[in-house]
Amino acid sequence: MKTSLLLFLLASSSVFAGYLGIDYTEKGGKVVLTKIDRKSPAECYGLKVGDVIESGLSPDAFIASVKRARPGTILSFKVRTRTGKETVHIPVSAGPGAPFATDIIQAD
């Protein structure tokens, strides 16, 4: 089941939808990244296709948390990469091309 996470700010209401710039599939109850948008928060902060998000939440709950996040909010979660595990801290954007903080890159 491939799902796109192209989420945008809903300007006409008080509801926000965060954007990380990822496409994913669910595998074994985890979010597996299948595409990273160019110049997105996910690309800027080093996420790669094949990385597995280990947020401690179900995929649906993780995606819901991104949707609820206001642009500028920092989301922190564990990612399993080909070389190990790390914690990433990624700012949510309002959508493709929207600004986001790029100077707070941190990884454990």
Q: Return the CATH fold of 2-91.
A: Pdz3 Domain (2.30.42)
With 0.85 as the threshold, say if the pTM is over it. Answer: no
Domain layout of the chain by residue ranges: 2-91
State pLDDT tens for residues 50-98. 999 998 889 999 988 988 888 888 999 999 999 999 999 999 988 887 7
Give the C-alpha separation, 36 to 14, whole Å. 28
Give the C-alpha separation, 69 to 77, whole Å. 14
Find tokens 């206001």 and name the residue: 70
